[in-house]
Amino acid sequence: MLGGRDDATCQKLLDRIGLQGKRFITDDWPGYHRLIPAAQLTTGKHLTVPIEQDNSNIRHFLARFRRRTKVVSKTEEMVDLNRPGFVGGSDL
């Protein structure tokens, strides 16, 4: 979902994914405290850093399919060799 870092965008996301049965781990932006029940919300940068690192690894892995910076293999053989590891859910 794209949008600003504001209550309206956060509310759109929450409406889309729902609150029931979910636990949210966020940074300390005040909007989360306004919109997510306290019992479902855990805040702290120390908890979000590993999530951001995983997202970075996924973006880096997918980059090989669209640009030549950082990752340069674009041969069909290299794409075929790397795709199963990512799709299979292995750690990056």
Of residues 81 and 92, the one with the higher pLDDT is: 81
Interaxial angle between packed helices 45-63 and 76-87, expressed in degrees from 0 to 180 and rounded to the nearest 10: 150
| pLDDT single digits (tens) 10-64 | 999 999 999 999 999 998 899 999 999 999 999 988 888 888 888 888 888 877 7
Q: Please report, in angstroms and rounded to a whole number, the separation of the first and last CA atoms in the chain.
A: 24
DSSP labels, 29-51:
-HHHHHHS-GGGEEE-HHHHHHH
Its pTM stands at 0.56
Rg of the chain over Cα atoms, rounded to whole angstroms, equals 17
Q: What are the pLDDT digits (tens) for 72-85?
A: 556 767 667 766 65
Using the predicted structure, report yes or no on whether residue 71 has a pLDDT greater than 60: no
